[in-house]
């Protein structure tokens, strides 16, 4: 199983012991492949640069990627998912389309996100076959409990 | 690396969890499995410490707004130009 975790979940793990941290642990424990994209890594870099001192952000990002790397990870590049970009732009905001486009790849099973506006409560997505791929962290943990 | 020998007690469930991983071929031995889980725990602890350094008291709304701004910036500056090629 391959799962894309949206940037907002990695950032939310900074807040406190929460469902987002539980989700990452669960994915590693269940040996589910976490798929990163070059776009998500770039966003993480920008977020970490803003949150940490200049001498700390690189180490923080490195630690996060190393921790994810203790499980199964895969990186999707722009060249792979950009063919789906135009279709994705019809379903969500332009700036969110790179994440949705990657989730449209055939080998991606799920997109887990906290973004209600762009994904979780987006009416266009609710009326598309992609709706079965998109979950909140809590919703995905529940889905795993029921299906595994 | 020089290894020390340690006798530990595990519950039946813990032992069967480890044995299952070995059976699946994920680890060559129980020892290697336990060492790997310890490595993950160490890395997680280091990660938790650094994540907490980045912790701020911003509300859910403030966090969403900040993430949206950054997504917009990354898209506009680095990815939108590629779509025009």
ipTM entry? 0.89
- Higher pLDDT pick, B62 / A75: A75
Q: Whole-angstrom Cα distance, residue A97 to residue A138?
A: 23
Model pLDDT, residue A30: 87
pLDDT of residue B7: 92
As a whole number of angstroms, the distance between CA A70 and CA A82 comes to 28
Give the start-end residues of each E strand in chain A.
Answer: 2-5, 33-37, 73-76, 110-112, 134-135
Instruction: Report how many helices (DSSP H) and strands (DSSP E) chain B contains, helices first.
Output: 4, 0
> B4 to chain A, minimum CA–CA distance in Å?
24
- Residues A87, B73: Cα–Cα separation, whole Å: 21
Give the chain B residue nearest A117 (alpha carbons). Answer: B64
CB distance from A43 to chain B under 8 Å? yes
pLDDT at B29: 96
Average pLDDT over residues A103-130: 94
Tell me if A35 sits within 8 A of A75, measured CB to CB.
Answer: yes
**Quick check: A136 pLDDT over 70?**
yes
B76-85 pLDDT, tens per residue? Answer: 999 988 887 6
A60 contacts B54 by C-beta, under 8 angstroms: yes
Q: B16 pLDDT band (50/70/90 cuts)?
A: very high
Interface of A with B in 7-26 (CB under 8 A): 7-8, 11-16
Would you call B79 an interface residue with chain A, using a CB distance cutoff of 8 Å? yes
């Amino acid at each position: 199983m391959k799962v894309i975790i949206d940037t907002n979940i990695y950032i939310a793990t900074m807040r406190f012991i929460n469902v987002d941290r539980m989700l990452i642990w669960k994915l590693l424990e269940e040996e589910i492949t976490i798929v990163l994209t070059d776009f998500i890594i770039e966003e993480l870099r920008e977020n970490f640069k803003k949150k940490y001192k200049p001498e700390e952000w690189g180490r923080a990002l490195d630690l996060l990627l190393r921790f994810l790397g203790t499980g199964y990870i895969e990186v999707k590049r722009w060249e792979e998912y950009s063919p789906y970009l135009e279709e994705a732009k019809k379903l969500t905001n332009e700036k969110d389309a790179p994440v949705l486009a990657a989730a449209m790849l055939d080998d991606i099973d799920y997109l887990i996100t906290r973004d209600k506006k762009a994904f979780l409560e987006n009416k266009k997505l609710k009326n598309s076959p992609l709706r079965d791929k998109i979950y909140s962290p809590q919703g995905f943990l529940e889905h795993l409990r029921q299906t595994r | 690396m020089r290894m020390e020998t340690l006798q530990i007690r595990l519950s039946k469930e813990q032992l069967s969890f480890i044995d299952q991983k070995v059976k699946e071929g994920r680890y060559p031995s129980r020892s290697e499995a336990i060492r790997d889980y310890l490595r993950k725990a160490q890395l997680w602890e280091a990660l938790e410490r650094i994540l907490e350094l980045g912790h701020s008291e911003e509300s859910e709304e403030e966090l969403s707004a900040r993430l949206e701004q950054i997504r917009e910036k990354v898209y506009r500056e680095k990815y939108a130009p590629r779509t025009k090629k």
